[in-house]
Structures are given as C-alpha cells and as structure tokens.
Structure 1
Amino acid sequence: MLRSAGLRALAGVAVPAVLVLSGCGASEPQGENADPDQVDAVETPELGACRVLTPEDVAAASNATATVPCGQEHTAETYAIGEMPDALDTAAYDAPEVSDYAYRTCATKFEAFLGADESLAMRTVVSWAWFRPSEEAWAEGARWYRCDVVGGGAESTSYLPLPESAKGLLLGRPDDSWMVCADGETVAGSPKVPCTQPHQWRAVTTIKVGEDEEEYPGDRVVEVTTRDFCSDSVGAWLNYPIDFEYAYTYFHEAEWDAGNRRSVCWARTPD
C-alpha cells in the first residue's frame, strides 16, 4: 500500500515479529544431517556449537543437526543454553508458557550476544531460533532449551554463512552486510537482503509501542502510533528532505502476546 501524505509517501504493512521462533510439535527427522546421539538427548546441548541449518530446520520444534567446526562454513551458532525453570517441569510439550519462557530468554541473550540494543537487533539480517528436546526426551524429564543465531530471518528461503563466531557482530557501527534492507517497490512482499546488496528500502529506526505489562492496545492504535512516529523519524534520518518516502512494519496481538513491542521504520533509499 502506497499513498501520498502531503509531501511524503508512506506504506504501512502488517508483519509478524522479525525474530525467528521454532514451531510447536515434533518434527522427524530433526534436520537433514541429524546426529543420532542428539535426536533424543536428555543432556543440555553444547554452547558455542555451529551447524548448517536451513529455514526448514528452524521451523521444527526440535533439532539434532550434526555440528561442524565453527571455522568451516555454517549458518547457525548456539549462543545460549540452559534448563527451564522448575515451574515448567509438569508443562505440556507445546504449552504456551514454554514458548513464552524461551522467547524472553533467547531474545534477551540474543541482544547481549550480538552487542546490540533491541532496536538494532530488529534491523539486522540475522535472527534467532530456539529448540527444545524431542517429545521422547521431554517425556523422560528433559527441560533444556537451545538458542541459535541464524543467518537469516522469517522470510528467508536460505541462510547466509556466519563468521567463525557471531559474538559482538553488531558492536560499534555494524557492517552493512549484517543490516537489513528490502529490494522491491514496497517493503511488503519484497526480498529482505543485506544492505550491501541492491535495495530500495532500509530499516532505519524502530518504535516501542507499549510496555511489557500493558494489554494490547488494538490494531488501529499500533498502526497509527507507528505511522506517526516513522513519518518524523525517517524524515529526520534522511536530514529532512522536501520529498521522501517511508514505510513501516508493525505487529498484531499474537506478536504482542509473544513479547514483541516494536515496529520498524523503513526509508526509501538505495544507500
């Protein structure tokens, strides 16, 4: 959607949160190159392990893809592991509270691992996935979680190779090869690419629409709040030109319930 607004143009599109989440329910096999020792493992996974994961792997609740040396090409790195709280000992395998705990934990640790604040973490081409034990291991009492940084996002059809370690990847002024841009006439439906590749839109700022403890304010409030902020924010980022175009991506109640509170502002620029 593109419509004029005085000397500006804006495009509003509703999209899910940019973070990548594992799906619910078991999936077999657990990766194209599954390690039999990991398939029903009760023990907590290895921190810092690297793997070659695909979007199909990330869509599964569990993953047992064999690890590779981090000096070799890989698309995923395990940046956080741990045991879920005792309160989840009796939780069902696909209980919402299990996903809620993993979301909060992995999202917070993702930012710390990359050296990014919440806004910057939402404007990078890398994202995160989380995995739980297999259903069989869960039945045996396994309650671990595994958070992996992956070289792509929710719309990726394949993942980019990561450096030997992604720790501190966004510290200082991040390289454009790790920042997200969109290559198309509109942000919605356009391929999301690193900003070193040809593009027409760049994600430049974000806005926090509500606080953690607040109830969802409704679709209209989220959109209007996002639109008004992005109009001013993108104009300032572009140094107040007479004419400019901007877009915004915002969320709905399902993403709010999962913990997302931020919308993203996009500037139309090939730079």
Structure 2
Amino acid sequence: MKRGIASMSLAVLVLLGGTACGVSAGDGNLSDDWAMMTDAAVRVPEAGKCYTVSSRGRDAYTPSWFRPVSCTERHTAETFHVGQLPDTVGVQPGIGERDYWAAHDACETQSKTFLGGDWYAARLYLTVFVPTTQQWEAGARWYACQLMETESVVDSIAVPRTASLRGALTGAAAVGYGCTTVVGLTEKSWKDMTSVDCAQPHDAEFAGAFKIPGTTAPTGDQRKTTLEECWNVVARYLGGTVDGMRMGYIPWGMDPTDWKRGDRWVRCFAWSSEKKTRGSAKGLGDRTPPS
C-alpha cells in the first residue's frame, strides 16, 4: 500500500526567542574595548574556525568572529568557507534577497568539497552570514559559510562537537540521515525524525532529495504536486516502480525560515507505513520491506 504524508502541520515550531547573555564585569581598561569594537567592524571571519553559538541552528545568531575556539575544543558551529561578494552587490544583502541566496548557493557548492557529500542529506544546518550594517559601512564585503551538526532531521538543536566536520560525509557518515524513526506520527502529520542504525527497528530511510527551482515557494495544490516528486525519488532509491513499490514516502522541506535563507531542498524518506523494518531498503525493488 503506497502512502505519502505531504502535510507537516505539527512539525515545526519556529522559536523567536533568544538565549540569555551574561555581561562580564570588565577589566576597567576602556582602550582595549574600543579596539575590539573597531576590530569587529572590519574583521573578516576566517575559514577553519569554530564557535560556540546558539544551541539552535535556525536561530542563526551571528558568532563573535573575534572569539573563535579550536575545532578540537567543544563548539557548536564551524566556519568552513569565507568568500567575497561580487562588486555588483552595492547594497547590504538581506535574508531572502537575491544576493543573499547567491551567497547561500556559493556556500552550498563549497560545502560538498568540505564535507565530501551533500549537506542536505545529513543532520546539518547550513547558515550564511554577511556583514552587519556597521561592518558594511566600514567596507566589509565578505560572506561566511557556517555548518552545525543537529540532533534530528527537523529540529535544528545543535550537537556540541570536539572535531571538525571536514570529510564528515565520506564513507559511512555518522551524520548522514540514513535510517530514521518517525516521531509524533499521525495519519496526516509528524513531528520529527531521529537517526538510528539501520540494523535496528525503524520506519523510514533517507532516499534522496530534489531542489525546487525559482525563488517562490510553492503553495496550495502546487505544493502538494511538488512534494509528490518524492514518489520518483523513492522509486529510484528502491530500484522499483512507483506503481509497484511497497513503501510510501515522507517529505521534509520548504520550512518558511529555511526557504528565506536559501534552502530550497526537499528531502524524501522511504516510509514503511505498515510496520517497523530492519536493514536498508536500498535496492528493495517492489518487494515488501523485511521485518
């Protein structure tokens, strides 16, 4: 029986709150504080540096570029590439604007070389930072690409790391989506997915993804039709046919916040709707998933 869950009305809670910030008492020396403020206005972030930032990737709080930590120390974010915006960009790019999306696309290209695979096929959150208004007025024209490992598919809660993400998607990638357990599953919606070893009971498996062209997110019937492309993605992964395969699909993508930041990918998961299964479904064809 083929089934697809195209709705995810309960899945995403976009948290608008911040984190509490402590204020240090200071050392009484104002000169070094002024130097830090001036430095912050012109400093270019460095690739290969790590930071401790917000515990949730979707919050996208800008790191303190002048306070990096070694990537072998505990951190939640890594800057893996820093580039320069084209000279044709005359206005500070804002989230959701063409020039910001172009920077996101550039980061996406760089991430594949850095990771050894596709960031959108893993528990990773890709964020692009551009200069603040103060930095832009001081002449800064950089863009910085940042990655965070996350706990699950939907919720962008960061996983603290003590190693770089370089090469993280080569070989048997621990951060790849792989097999998953669906959380909060009902007839019409679901909340999240957690990655599990494929040898353990699970009900879904990442099958692939497709990128939505253009800059406008599909809505209504167009959204439903767009998500149904997952039938073809899953069929190719199984090596079967859309009409004959014994698995459904669950899509994930087009979150409004992520879309504005440049993520136009829809992830497709092969879904065993009747029972938990063991082992990978890749190459299953039109056969029934094993128990």
Structure 2: stretches of 5+ with no match in the other structure? 25-32, 279-291
- CA spacing shift, 1:177–1:207, aligned 2, 3 Å: closer
For 1:10, the aligned partner's letter is G
Note if contact 2:53-2:63 (Cα within 8 Å) is conserved in structure 1.
no
Displacement after TM superposition at 1:234 (Å): 2.8
Displacement after TM superposition at 1:163 (Å): 5.5
Displacement after TM superposition at 1:184 (Å): 1.6
Note if contact 1:10-1:247 (Cα within 8 Å) is conserved in structure 2.
yes
Note if contact 1:46-1:81 (Cα within 8 Å) is conserved in structure 2.
yes
Note if contact 1:195-1:202 (Cα within 8 Å) is conserved in structure 2.
no
Which structure 2 residues correspond to residues 46-57 of structure 1 after superposition, within 5 A? 46-55=46-55
**1:267 lines up with 2:274 in the alignment:** no
Displacement after TM superposition at 1:48 (Å): 0.1
> Matched residue of 1:88: which SS?
coil
| 1: CA distance, partners of 2:263 / 2:145 | 17
- CA spacing shift, 1:32–1:245, aligned 2, 3 Å: farther
Residue among 201, 204, 214 paired with 1:201: 204
Match of 1:9 in 2: 3
Displacement after TM superposition at 1:263 (Å): 2.2
Displacement after TM superposition at 1:235 (Å): 4.8
Residue among 123, 126, 129 paired with 2:124: 126
What's the TM-score, normalizing by structure 1? 0.70
Match of 2:289 in 1: none
Which structure 2 residues correspond to residues 223-262 of structure 1 after superposition, within 5 A? 223-227=224-228, 229-235=229-235, 237-238=237-238, 243-251=246-254, 260-262=263-265
| 2: CA distance, partners of 1:141 / 1:52 | 26
For 2:6, the aligned partner's letter is G
- CA spacing shift, 1:208–1:88, aligned 2, 3 Å: closer
Match of 1:67 in 2: 68
- How well do the aligned residues superpose, as a CA RMSD in angstroms? 4.1
Note if contact 1:30-1:60 (Cα within 8 Å) is conserved in structure 2.
no
Report percent identity of matched pairs.
Answer: 21
List per-residue Cα deviations over 1:120-173 (Å, max 9, x = no partner). Answer: 43220012112223332222221221111111278435311346221121124x
> Matched residue of 2:4: which SS?
strand
Note if contact 2:204-2:270 (Cα within 8 Å) is conserved in structure 1.
yes
**1:159 lines up with 2:151 in the alignment:** no
Note if contact 2:129-2:145 (Cα within 8 Å) is conserved in structure 1.
yes
Q: Which has the higher contact order (CA 8 A, sep 6+)?
A: 1
Displacement after TM superposition at 1:80 (Å): 0.6
Structure 1: stretches of 5+ with no match in the other structure? 1-6
Displacement after TM superposition at 1:222 (Å): 4.5
